[in-house]
Amino acid sequence: MLVKNPIMGLCQQADFMLSAAKVEQCPDDEGYEVAFAGRSNAGKSSALNTLTHASLARTSKTPGRTQLLNFFRLDDERRLVDLPGYGYAKVPIPLKLHWQRHLEAYLGSRRSLVGLILMMDIRHPLTEFDHLMLDWAVAAQMPMHILLTKADKLAFGAAKTTLLKVQQDLRRGWGDSISMQLFSAPKRMGVEEAQAVLGRWMHLLDAPTAPSEDAEG
Are 186 and 152 within 8 A, CB to CB?
yes
What pLDDT score does 64 carry? 46
The pLDDT of residue 90: 57
pTM of the model: 0.86
Q: Does domain 7-201 have CATH number 3.40.50.300?
A: yes
Name the residue ranges covered by the structural domains of the chain. 7-201
Average pLDDT, the chain: 85
Report in angstroms the alpha-carbon separations of 81 from 37, 59, 191: 9, 15, 17
Per-residue confidence (pLDDT) for residue 211, from 0 to 100: 45
Regions of the chain where pLDDT drops below 70: 1-4, 54, 57-66, 86-99, 206-217
Q: Where are the alpha helices (DSSP H) in 110-155?
A: 128-140
Contact 118, 37 (CB under 8 A): yes
Nearest to 200 by CA among 109, 139, 115, 82: 115
Q: What is the pLDDT of residues 187-203, one digit of tens each?
A: 999 999 999 999 999 99
